[in-house]
Chains A and B, each alone.
Chain A
Amino acid sequence: AQSVTQPDIHITVSEGASLELRCNYSYGATPYLFWYVQSPGQGLQLLLKYFSGDTLVQGIKGFEAEFKRSQSSFNLRKPSVHWSDAAEYFCAVVRASGGSYIPTFGRGTSLIVHP
């Protein structure tokens, strides 16, 4: 069975600083990997996803993520954080199940941005 681990429950950064959110997955086949952002009281919004090809993926809002098969990781990065980036971030892996595709989410990392 697949699983997703986001080891950091909370991360605090200063505005303008760089950011890296960690995600490790466990999955027996080629993973389909996603990063979502959730603002308070809202649903999830896709930042980026990876299926194959270039292991460095560019997303929206200046985010990027790098797939590293040897480390089973898919860390999310941003070179300069803005106060509006404060939110909850979820990593997810999608598994194939009898013709359908079912996601498994990590427990999330809460990003706090100091001015």
Chain B
Amino acid sequence: NAGVMQNPRHLVRRRGQEARLRCSPMKGHSHVYWYRQLPEEGLKFMVYLQKENIIDESGMPKERFSAEFPKEGPSILRIQQVVRGDSAAYFCASSPPGQAPWLAGGPTSDTQYFGPGTRLTVL
């Protein structure tokens, strides 16, 4: 969905460098999800944030990965000391406030809007 912005769209890093991925949710959305998509695999949930809070980080690797969603500004996914295995497409999605936005609306009511992704390549 064009409303969710991610930048950069492509990012190249050498092993050991840091990668910072940004996600600007749709206007009025206060929930952000981050996903990782490895080649020829589905999306894997990483972390779910609300403004200034990490709600669920059960999908985040224990080391080198962190995420934040400050009161002002975009959500940031940070990967320290990148390795080749971090090469993937990273997607964020935003949803409006509410405990269960997934359950809102009819069968085609989209409650989670995906950005175009950032493709990280680690050399």
Contact = CB atoms under 8 A, between A and B. Distances in A.
A47 B58 CA distance: 27
B114 A43 contact: yes
Interface string B29-52: 000000100001111110010000
A46 B104 CA distance: 13
- Interface of B, secondary structure class, is loop
A46 B105 CA distance: 13
Contact of B56 (A9, A50, A58, A102): A102
A107 to B, nearest CB: 4
Nearest to A41: B116
A48 B107 contact: yes
Most buried by A among B4, B101, B102: B102
A90 B43 contact: yes
Interface stretch (A14-22, A70-78, A79-87, A93-101): A93-101
Question: Which residue of B93, B100, B115 has the most chain A CB atoms within 10 A of its CB atom?
Answer: B100
A98 B56 contact: yes
Contacts of B12: none
Given A44-B91, A106-B42, A99 B99 contact: yes
Interface string A34-71: 00000001111111111100000111100000000000
Contacts of B100: 101
A90 B42 contact: yes
Contacts of B4: 43
Most buried by B among A9, A57, A101: A101
Interface of B: 1, 4, 35, 40-45, 48, 55-56, 58-59, 91, 93, 99-103, 107-110, 112, 114-117
13 contacts: A32-B102, A42-B117, A43-B91, A43-B114, A44-B93, A44-B114, A46-B108, A48-B107, A51-B103, A98-B56, A102-B48, A102-B56, A108-B41
6 closest residue pairs by CB, A with B: A43-B114, A105-B42, A46-B110, A107-B42, A44-B114, A105-B43
